[in-house]
């Protein structure tokens, strides 16, 4: 019994040793001898969810494109499988693309020079050559039959043969301001073993999108993360067919392209060929057009003015005579709604009109739309109209699908590329205000949070205050 008692006492003394040591430490009591404040232990750090390794590879690819200023490569597009037996064709092209400083998002100019080979009986059939360039708003190409270099707006160009012949060699992700969006939002990724493709070590990823309905295998360069091969699988009655695009001799430059490099991306005019260009508004004497939009403007050194090429004036309805000593008249336009109705600027006389130049691809729309919604709510029931003028949409359907108006009062007008040029819109989204007499109260202004709509609202309020009060 006593021995048990001493063993218990010894254990109690041993447990008390750390407490005695704490009392000897300087932090054990306050300055006045009071008990110290108890500091709770830090909360455990929240672990960030681990990104899928396949998604990370596409994030790296997007980062490379975000930093790139010019890319050159050879591209080959072809198909395999019974689904493409009658329509198979091989497209090969040398591709060059450069960013245009100060231009429209995504800011790339692309030129493809190559050929398309159609299938023939027992082997390859006829070959057609093409030389085509995407200039952001317009597309230009060589028409050898007509002996012309033709330039058309983006939407009109989709119907011409050179566009369709060369388009399989154009990977839109390489010129998009948000590349690889489908892949970054994929349903599943399978990272496979690295492989050599065109002499380059590549990471290989099988990507499933659209809830697993679409599958594609990507070969991304292990160093620069840019595509070297893409194989998209299509299931059909005869089994699985593939659409394949290969990229070789890929060269990336992260320095701004020179004016000569940009000029080289325009289609060359063969000797004896005529030119059929999109008519441009006649520039104001002594003033350049916006740099990177359709030529001219401030030079790369920020001081010298690049001369503007004189081209035939666009055929647009003449505006009414300007009000003496007042703001300039806004460029006239006549655009269509998705339902096919025409909306002309002249038909909006007697109202203040807000114009939003944008595309569904415009990165800052999600930031500007809440302020636009507040503006529309504030001026509801007043003689104020608002429209989105769609720029550089892939199609009417994509424009409609991507149009998410913050209020029903925001209408949609299609194919507004030339109107944007006439107004001088250079970045998107941007906003302009037209007064009740057709005067341009606010020239296209790039959206800035808590600034742009403050100025717009001020201009609209002043215009409304000058308008006669309608009889009750």
pTM: 0.53
Residue carrying structure tokens 């507004």: 416
**Structural domain includes residue 309:** no
Q: What is the pLDDT along the chain (472 residues), one digit of tens a residue?
A: 445 544 544 444 444 444 433 434 444 444 455 555 556 666 565 555 578 999 999 999 999 999 999 999 999 999 988 777 767 789 999 999 999 876 545 589 999 999 999 776 555 678 899 999 998 789 999 998 899 999 998 888 888 889 989 999 999 999 987 899 999 999 999 999 999 999 999 999 999 998 888 999 999 999 999 999 999 998 877 788 899 999 999 999 999 888 888 888 999 899 999 999 987 655 545 444 444 344 443 343 444 444 444 444 444 555 544 444 568 899 999 999 999 999 999 999 999 999 999 998 887 888 899 999 999 999 999 999 999 999 989 889 989 998 888 888 899 999 999 899 889 887 889 999 999 999 999 988 888 888 889 999 999 999 999 988 664 4
| CA atoms of 129 and 143, how far apart (whole Å) | 10
**Structural domain includes residue 112:** yes
CA torsion angle for 222, 97, 171, 290 (degrees, to 10)?
130
Q: What is the DSSP string of 64-88?
A: HHHH-SEEEEEEEEEEESGGGTTT-
**β-strand partners of 251:** 72
**Structural domain includes residue 345:** yes
Q: What is the mean pLDDT of the chain?
A: 81
In a shared domain, residues 343 and 456: yes
**Structural domain includes residue 220:** yes
CB 183 within 8 Å of CB 172: no
Could you tell me whether strands 352-358 and 384-390 are parallel, antiparallel, or unpaired per DSSP bridges? Answer: parallel
Please state whether the peptide bond connecting residue 106 to the residue before it is cis, i.e. omega within 30 degrees of 0.
yes
In a shared domain, residues 246 and 109: yes
CB 185 within 8 Å of CB 209: yes
Q: Which of 253, 286, 309 is the last residue of a domain?
A: 253
CB 218 within 8 Å of CB 61: no
Residue carrying structure tokens 């060269």: 251
Range 391-395, long-range pairs (CB < 8 A, 24+ positions): 391/104, 391/137, 391/357, 391/358, 391/359, 391/416, 391/417, 391/420, 391/425, 391/428, 392/104, 392/136, 392/137, 392/154, 392/359, 392/361, 392/417, 393/155, 393/359, 393/360, 393/361, 395/155
In a shared domain, residues 68 and 174: yes
**From its phi and psi, is residue 3 left (phi > 0), alpha (psi between -120 and 50) or beta?**
alpha
Q: Which of 253, 268, 289 is the last residue of a domain?
A: 253
| Residue 402, pLDDT score | 86
In a shared domain, residues 338 and 229: no
| CA atoms of 87 and 100, how far apart (whole Å) | 36
| Residue 407, pLDDT score | 83
| CA atoms of 441 and 208, how far apart (whole Å) | 50
| Residue 48, pLDDT score | 53
CATH of the domain at 58: 2.50.20.10
**Structural domain includes residue 299:** no
In a shared domain, residues 70 and 218: yes
CATH of the domain at 432: 3.40.30.10
In a shared domain, residues 207 and 350: no
**Structural domain includes residue 397:** yes
In a shared domain, residues 129 and 223: yes
The phi and psi torsions of 104 (rounded to 5 degrees) equal: -80, 140
| Residue 58, pLDDT score | 97
In a shared domain, residues 237 and 104: yes
| Range(s) of the domain holding residue 241 | 53-253
**Structural domain includes residue 303:** no
| CA atoms of 331 and 271, how far apart (whole Å) | 37
CB 327 within 8 Å of CB 438: no
In a shared domain, residues 235 and 369: no
In a shared domain, residues 97 and 236: yes
Tens digits of residue pLDDT in 211-247: 888 999 999 999 999 999 999 998 877 788 899 999 9
The phi and psi torsions of 452 (rounded to 5 degrees) equal: -60, -50
Please state whether the peptide bond connecting residue 429 to the residue before it is cis, i.e. omega within 30 degrees of 0.
yes
Q: Which of 224, 253, 282 is the last residue of a domain?
A: 253
Tens digits of residue pLDDT in 386-445: 999 999 898 899 899 988 888 888 999 999 998 998 898 878 899 999 999 999 999 888
| Residue 289, pLDDT score | 42
Cα 304 to Cα 259, 299, 300, 426, distances in angstroms: 13, 5, 8, 20
**Structural domain includes residue 45:** no
In a shared domain, residues 224 and 354: no
How many structural domains is the chain composed of?
2
Of 157, 152, 109, give the one whose Cα is nearest residue 418. 152
| CA atoms of 186 and 182, how far apart (whole Å) | 6
Residue carrying structure tokens 């499988």: 81
């Amino acid at each position: 019994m006593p021995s048990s008692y001493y063993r218990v006492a010894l254990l109690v003394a041993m447990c008390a040793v750390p407490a005695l040591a704490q009392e000897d430490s300087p932090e054990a009591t306050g300055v006045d001898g009071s008990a110290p404040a108890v500091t709770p232990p830090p909360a455990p750090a929240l672990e960030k969810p681990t990104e899928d390794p396949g998604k990370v590879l596409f994030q790296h690819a997007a980062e490379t494109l975000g930093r790139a200023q010019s890319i050159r490569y050879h591209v080959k597009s072809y198909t395999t499988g019974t689904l493409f037996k009658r329509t198979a064709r091989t497209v090969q092209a040398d591709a060059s693309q450069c960013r245009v400083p100060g231009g429209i998002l995504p800011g790339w100019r692309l030129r493809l020079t190559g050929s398309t080979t159609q299938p023939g009986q027992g082997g390859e059939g006829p070959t057609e050559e093409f030389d085509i360039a995407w200039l952001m708003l317009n597309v230009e190409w060589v028409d050898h039959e007509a002996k012309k270099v033709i330039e058309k707006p983006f939407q009109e160009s989709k119907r011409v043969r050179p566009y369709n012949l060369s388009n399989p060699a154009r990977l839109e992700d390489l010129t998009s301001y948000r590349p690889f969006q489908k892949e970054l939002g994929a349903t599943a990724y399978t990272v496979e073993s690295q492989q050599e493709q065109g002499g380059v070590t590549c990471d290989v990823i099988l990507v499933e999108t659209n809830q697993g309905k679409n599958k594609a295998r990507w070969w991304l360069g292990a160093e620069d993360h840019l595509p070297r091969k893409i194989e998209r699988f299509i299931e059909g009655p005869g089994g699985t067919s593939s659409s394949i695009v290969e990229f070789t001799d890929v060269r990336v430059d992260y320095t701004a392209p020179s004016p000569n490099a940009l000029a080289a991306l325009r289609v060359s005019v063969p000797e004896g060929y005529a030119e059929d260009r999109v008519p441009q508004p006649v520039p104001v004497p002594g003033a350049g057009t916006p740099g990177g939009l359709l030529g001219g403007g401030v030079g790369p050194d920020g001081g010298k003015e690049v001369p503007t090429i004189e081209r035939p004036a666009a055929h647009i309805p003449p505006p009414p005579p300007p009000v003496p000593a007042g703001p300039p008249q806004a460029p006239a336009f006549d655009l269509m709604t998705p339902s096919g109705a025409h909306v002309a600027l002249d038909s909006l006389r007697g109202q203040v009109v807000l114009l939003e130049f944008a595309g569904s691809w415009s990165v800052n729309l999600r930031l500007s739309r809440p302020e636009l919604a507040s503006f529309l709510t504030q001026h509801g029931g007043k003689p104020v109209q608002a429209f989105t003028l769609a720029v550089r949409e892939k199609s009417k359907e994509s424009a409609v699908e991507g149009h998410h108006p913050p209020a029903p009062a925001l209408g949609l007008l299609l194919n507004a590329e030339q109107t944007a040029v006439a107004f001088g819109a250079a970045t998107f989204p941007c906003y302009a205000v037209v007064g009740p007499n057709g005067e341009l109260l606010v020239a296209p202004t790039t959206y800035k949070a808590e600034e742009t709509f403050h100025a717009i609202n001020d201009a609209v309020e002043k215009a409304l205050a000058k308008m006669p009060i309608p009889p009750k």
